[in-house]
Copies of this chain bind each other. A is one copy, B any other.
Amino acid sequence: MTSDTTIPSQEDYLLDEQVGYVLRLANQRHTTIFQSHDTSGLTATQFSAMLRLAQYGECSQNQLGRYSAMDVATIKGVVDRLRQKGLVCTKPFQNDKRRSLISLTSKGAAMIEGLETAGRKITKETLAPFNASERQKFINLLKKLT
C-alpha cells in the first residue's frame, strides 16, 4: 500500500487560530477598555450612534441604523435609551408620515467633543500592544475584511 488507511487531517483544527474566535476575544478586550474610560455613561454602541448623528445630522431611525451598522430592532433600542437620557430627540417628518427625524439635543451635542477625546484614548489603549507600523497595518487589514 502506498498510503495509510486513516488519512490524517492536513492540520489540527485549533480554535485559538480561527479568525472568528480571536475576533471575539479582541472585541471583549476592546469592550473592557471602553468601559474603563469615561464616556458619560454611554455604551460603545450608543457612542457610535451619537457620533453618527453628529456626523450626518438629523435623519430617520432606520437611516441612523444603517449609518451605525445596526439592525432596525437594535437601533430602536439604542435610540430609545439615548432619548431617555435626553441626548437625542425625535420630531415627525412632514412629507412622510412613516418616519420621524432624530437629532441630537443641545445636551447631546455638547457631549460630542468629550466623546471624541475619550474615543481617541480608547483606540490608543486598545492598540497599545502594537508599534506604529503594526497599528496602521492592522486597521487597514481590518477594514479590508469589512
Contact = CB atoms under 8 A, between A and B. Distances in A.
Interface stretch (A22-30, A58-66, A79-87, A96-104): A22-30
A138 B17 CA distance: 11
Q: Give the contact-size bracket for chain A.
A: 35 or more
A116 B13 contact: yes
Given A34-B20, A69-B24, A69-B25, A141 B146 contact: no
A48 B129 CA distance: 26
A119 B18 contact: yes
Contacts of A72: none
Contacts of A24: 27, 44, 48, 69
Contacts of A144: 129-130, 134
